[in-house]
């Protein structure tokens, strides 16, 4: 017997139809704030991505899987998960927040390579276990069977756009010179 406040059935019911109910949304906001502040271990992050229709920044608390030194994101609700559709619409450009905002690029992993990552994800992220229909100790063949329904994204750092503030100084100085010299 476990001392968990919610049973696996209740956790699944919170996400009936692939969308969170009011309780799940409240927990999501809470955990997004906690993960964003960096109060949990490194694997817990807040994903920030523009909404595919509204363009409004949306935040999702997520657990990452670490496999062979690489970090991966797996949606516990599968292919139709809201953040997955937003990431695809944003061409993989997202921000992962954990104490500070880090621009990242999420690259979708081919189906053939997903099974060991999903297994690792289930071992490392206990909150996803009620939602993925395979036990974390199941043989690899079971993970290969569900891999097409669960996209996996490789997390890599995005190239940082440098702000060239000095260009503004040069342009402003040139404009001032042009205004002062040319009219005379």
**Domain residue ranges in the chain:** 8-181
Structure confidence by residue, pLDDT tens digits, 83-142: 899 999 999 999 888 778 889 999 999 999 999 999 998 888 877 777 688 988 999 999
CA distances, 105 to each of 126, 160, 169 (Å): 25, 11, 32
Where does 8-181 sit in CATH, by number?
2.30.110.10
Cα–Cα dist 142/11, whole Å: 22
CB–CB of 28/61 below 8 Å?
yes
Percent of the chain with pLDDT over 70: 65
Cα–Cα dist 107/123, whole Å: 22
pLDDT of residue 1: 44
């Amino acid at each position: 017997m476990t001392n968990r406040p919610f049973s696996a059935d209740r956790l699944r019911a919170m996400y009936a139809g692939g969308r969170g109910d009011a309780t799940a949304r409240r927990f999501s906001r809470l955990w997004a704030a906690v993960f964003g502040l960096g109060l949990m271990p490194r694997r817990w992050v807040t994903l920030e991505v523009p909404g595919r229709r509204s363009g409004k920044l949306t935040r999702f608390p997520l657990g990452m899987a670490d496999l062979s030194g690489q970090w991966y994101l797996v949606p516990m609700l599968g292919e139709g998960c809201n953040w997955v559709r937003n990431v695809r619409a944003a061409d993989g450009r997202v921000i992962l927040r954990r104490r500070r905002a880090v621009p990242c690029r999420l690259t979708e992993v081919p189906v053939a390579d997903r099974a060991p990552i999903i297994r690792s994800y289930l071992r490392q992220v206990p909150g996803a276990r009620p939602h993925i229909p395979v036990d974390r100790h199941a043989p690899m063949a079971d993970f290969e069977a569900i891999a097409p329904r669960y996209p996996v994204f490789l997390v890599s750092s995005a190239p940082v756009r440098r702000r060239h503030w000095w260009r503004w100084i040069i342009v402003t100085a040139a404009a001032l010179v042009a205004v002062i010299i040319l009219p005379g």
